[in-house]
Every structure is written in C-alpha cells, then in structure tokens.
Amino acid sequence: MKIACIGNMNNMFFQIGRYLIDEGHLVTFFLLEEFDHFLPQADTYEDISKYEIIKLGWNFDTFRGVTSQQIKKIFSSFDYLMGTDLAPAYLFKAGLKLDVYFPHGSDLYQYPFFRYKNNPPQLWEIPANIVSRAQFIGIKEADTVSLDMSDEVFETPYYKIRGKTQRRITSPPFLYFKQYTDNYPALSTYYKQFSEIRSQYKFIVFQQISQDWSMRGEFKIDKGNNNLINAFADYLNKNEKYKKDSLLILMEYGIDVEKSKQLIVKLGISNNVIWFKKMNRKDLMVAIYFSDICVGELGYRQWYSYSSIIEFMAMKKPLIHHRGDAFYKNKGLDLYPMVDADSAEKVADVFIDYRSNPKKYINMGADAHKWILADANKKVEFYKEILLKKKNTNQIVFPFLKKMKYYLNPQIIYNYLFLGMYQLKEMVRG
C-alpha cells in the first residue's frame, strides 16, 4: 500500500512509518514546517537517504498560497493518508480527508479554536484564523483519530470537535524500538561526555522535558519542573554525602528556563545541577542511558503517555511522573511500572528510597522496558490490521457544498475582508 505520512512533530510519523516500511508498504514522509529537532535525522544515526522524504515547509502563512490543485496533485495518488499538525486543514482545502489524524497537542487544543486578540484584527492574526476553521473541519471529518486516553487538555477539544464518534483508535508506537541495540549509545557524539559525567557521580537524575511551569493558557499548562527542583534540593539536604555524589541534568529548553535557574540558585544546589542545550532525541537517549532515574511531568495534569516517559522505558530506566493511577485504572488501561507522583515531597522520598534500594528501581526499569516493547508490538499489529481493512484506494472527497459552506462562513469572510484592506493599504503606501 502507498502511504503518506504528513507532518512529523515529535518525530511521530517517522516511527510508525518505519514499522510500516518493514511490512512492505511504500511510505513517503512529508515534512511541514518542522523544528530541527523533529526532523528524521534528529531521531536516528542511520543514513536517511534510503527513505522517501519530501519537504513541503507548509505553515499558517503558506495556507492561502498553496492551491487545492497543488495539494491534490501531491496526495491523490496515495492509498492511505496519515497526518498531524496542520495536515487536516491543508487536506480539507483540497477536498481530501485524512484516514488517520494523530494530534500532537496544540494542533488539537489550540489551532481549531484560534480567536482574535485584537479588534480590528492585526495582520499577523489573519492567517491563523483562516486556518483555524479549516483545521476544525479537517479534524472533524477525518476518518479516524489516533489518540490514547488522556487528560482534559486533549479530551475536551476532541469532544468539542468530534462529539461521541467511535472512530478513535490507539496511538502508534512513539519510538522505533528496533534501533536501540546495545551498540546504540556509542554512536552519539555526546557518548564520551556523558560517560565522563557518569564516572563522577553515583546518582544521576535526568529530565528532558521543556521548562514550563507558569500555568499558562486556557488549560493551565504546568509541567511541574519546580517540583523536581525542590525535590532534588530536599533530597540533597537529607544527607551530606548526597551533595558529593548526586547530579540533576536538565535541558535548557522552554519558556521558564530562567525561572528554573533562579530557583536552583535560591535553593543553593547549583553545584549539583548541569544544564545541556536542547539536543536531538537520538542524543537524548544516550543521556537517559547514563542516568539512574528519569522524571517526566509533575504538574497537576494526569498523563498516561507522551514521548519522554516512553524514551525512559526504551532505555530501561525507572521513571517518575504524574500519571494519575486511579483515573486511568478506572478507564481500564494497562498500567506500566513507574512511580506516580505530583509533589516535591513524594519525589524526594523516591530519590532517598532509591539510594537504599537501587535494585528495586533497576528492576522497575527493566519491567517497564518489557511492557513498552510488548505494547509497541501490539500497536504495530493493530495498524497492520487497519491497513488491511481499508475498503478502497480512492480518497474520500468532501462534497462541494461542504467546502462552499466553509468559504461562506462569516468568520472566513471577515478574515478575507480585513486581509483585502491590509493589502490595499500596502498598495497605497507603495
């Protein structure tokens, strides 16, 4: 089957795409406007020239300039369309539907609900608003959404857009686990540096998520990085020897980096913290490999799955984050081995317990590794079955009247009216 993977935020489609290639499918990776650390080469040390990768570079600003005909020409020959980020909006513009939409975050809870912050709207707001309506419809009309059970940040917008439709399936594997062989760590240019750090400390804690604990936005995004920093400080103060042999590694990434650095100075633990610049996942995995215990989000949100914690499990490391065990157990989900925590006190207790019972946590990491490999295998088998059930190879096309309804929407007319006014103003100035 000829498959298009559109967008690559979090390198999500480069993972499932490689599994599908292994099954004999013809997969093309289409890159929208991607961050450098989410390009295919950021996830693997292998030669990526063997893959079919096409850089489109599409974003909010290019939406009006890319024509329906161009989009159709690119995708109409594919049997199966998988997309994330702005893929729903662009395909809707061409009258095409996604077979599977896999949200990465803001493309679900923010893009479809963009509203003007200024009246009259500023020029920079118009492209996002034009795309917003198309994104909403594109997600609504996608044949299937690939989304594991999650917090209300995902669940609320999902139900606003799609209602109670049952066309929802499990997410694909977040990682291509086949590449993590025993020789993998030595391939990184960071290998020597992390190896030297490992030799200097007996206990290393690692967190690679972005520093973001300001309770920002409608859904009060809070990753709880401050809880980790406070926990590590509490742990160091419990025993003088901990200050000599313990290290916290953080990534200089996110809107609250400076706040976190200030908190570290205030707590007097600067000598026990190392910051690394943002790095590619293929190198992050090596940092995880040399750590003892890894920490995800510790805010009040309850997350079952996201890239960071799966990266920990891939490297057989025990992990701590706020999962909300009771919530997901009641939903019938299979819970992987880890420590569920949402406060500095709980996390500090885990660090202290690790020093007394390291084997307990080493075994936890090994068990989590077995769990994630089994889960990935189940998901690959599931996606193989989904592809076999595809009824036809012709893409479903939106009826003409549905597309006209979009362009005749008062919100869209309002956008184009102001866009025309701005363009006229520029012409007069010119």
Q: How many domains does the chain have?
A: 2
**pLDDT tier for residue 122 given thresholds of 50, 70 and 90:** confident
Phi and psi torsions of 91, nearest 5°: -70, -35
On the question of pLDDT at 400 being above 90, the answer is no
**pLDDT tier for residue 138 given thresholds of 50, 70 and 90:** very high
Residue 391: its pLDDT value, please?
Answer: 60
Residue 150: its pLDDT value, please?
Answer: 87
Q: Does residue 360 share a domain with residue 218?
A: yes
pLDDT in tens, 262-300: 999 999 999 999 999 999 999 999 999 999 999 999 998
**pLDDT tier for residue 398 given thresholds of 50, 70 and 90:** low
In a domain, 394, yes or no: no
Residue 295: its pLDDT value, please?
Answer: 98
Cβ contacts of 76 within 8 Å, gap of 6 or more: 96, 395
In a domain, 322, yes or no: yes
- What domain range includes position 36? 2-172+399-429
Residue 422: its pLDDT value, please?
Answer: 67
In a domain, 329, yes or no: yes
Please give the structure tokens belonging to residue 175: 């990682």
**pLDDT tier for residue 399 given thresholds of 50, 70 and 90:** low
Residue 128: its pLDDT value, please?
Answer: 87
Q: In the chain, what percentage of residues exceed pLDDT 70?
A: 92
pLDDT in tens, 319-367: 999 999 998 988 888 999 999 999 999 999 999 999 999 999 999 999 9
- Report whether 82 contacts 7 (CB < 8 A): no
Residue 129: its pLDDT value, please?
Answer: 87
pTM over 0.85: yes
pLDDT in tens, 172-187: 999 999 999 999 999 9
The strands making up 319-321's β-sheet, listed across from edge to edge, are: 273-277, 246-252, 203-207, 293-295, 319-321, 339-340
Q: Does residue 250 share a domain with residue 344?
A: yes
**pLDDT tier for residue 221 given thresholds of 50, 70 and 90:** confident
Neighbours of 56 (CB within 10 A): 20
- Check which CATH number belongs to the domain holding 319 and give it: 3.40.50.2000
Omega of the bond leading into 120 within 30 degrees of 0 (cis): yes
- Check which CATH number belongs to the domain holding 424 and give it: 3.40.50
Q: Does residue 353 share a domain with residue 204?
A: yes
pLDDT in tens, 228-247: 999 999 999 999 999 999 99
Q: Does residue 189 share a domain with residue 157?
A: no
Q: Does residue 135 share a domain with residue 112?
A: yes
